[in-house]
Structure 1
């Protein structure tokens, strides 16, 4: 059995200045900026959200700006396999840490490791018997 839940709303920003994008979204959503450089590489900024809200992350990208979802899990391989059975496709394993996947609708999303403690309350438990 493994667990997963919606974790993060990721604003993919094709922008020269991630700080400018973060300041806009911070003001637009009424969420203060936690950091403008989450990983030390200048690619990720985070806005403050409550513990029961999804994380809001801004990611500097080279492709067109869009929004994607991250699903967090305590077993990345089991969750990716479950989603495969539902019709998703694996696109790319990034740094051996998360899967970029594509839904049958064409939307890209990521399967990532657990992002917050505690792991609830909006948690799904999957037993692996039927893909649900």
Structure 2
């Protein structure tokens, strides 16, 4: 059965006690508004930006690990997309809440998340 996927956006992981200053910095650096200052399941853990180029989903996230940037790939079938990426050499690291954390063969971490608005933005690629 086929499924679809595409680049969803970028998450800026911030190792910090207070996410608000990091959100202000990245908002101004990227020229994006703060659309949702409390976007996560837990208050103070995610800030979502609006007015992003090409409608990319960009947010800052409070984390315990070292600060870094990771990308999200969205799919209408996250298990099928994770399996496709494993065949390319990626490996599953963990299933967290509603998404797969994966690692590329070269060590970069990324997430496979649920596609919510396939009609918006760049059309997704269909995979068999």
- Is TM-score (shorter-chain normalized) higher than 0.5? yes
Q: Distance in 1 between matches of 2:69 and 2:118?
A: 24
Q: Distance in 2 between matches of 1:120 and 1:26?
A: 21
User: TM-score, normalized by length of structure 2?
Assistant: 0.92
User: TM-score, normalized by length of structure 1?
Assistant: 0.89
Q: Distance in 2 between matches of 1:24 and 1:112?
A: 26
Query: Structure 1 82/101 Cα, relative in aligned 2: closer, same or farther at 3 Å?
Result: same
Q: CA deviation at 1:53?
A: 2.9
Q: Distance in 2 between matches of 1:40 and 1:18?
A: 15
Q: Distance in 1 between matches of 2:51 and 2:106?
A: 28
- In structure 1, list runs of 5 or more residues that go unmatched: 128-132
Q: CA deviation at 1:49?
A: 3.1
Contact 2:32 2:52 survives alignment (8 Å): no
State which drifts further: 23-32 or 65-74.
Answer: 23-32
Query: Residue in 1 aligned with 2:3?
Result: 2
Root mean square deviation, CA, Å: 1.5
Q: CA deviation at 1:51?
A: 7.7
Q: Distance in 1 between matches of 2:41 and 2:106?
A: 34
Matches within 5 A, 1:25-40: 25-40=26-41
- In structure 2, list runs of 5 or more residues that go unmatched: none
Q: CA deviation at 1:93?
A: 0.3
Number of residues of Structure 1 aligned to a counterpart in Structure 2: 126
Moved over 6 A (4+): none
Q: CA deviation at 1:40?
A: 4.6
Q: Distance in 1 between matches of 2:85 and 2:51?
A: 27
Helix, strand or coil for the counterpart of 2:55? Answer: coil
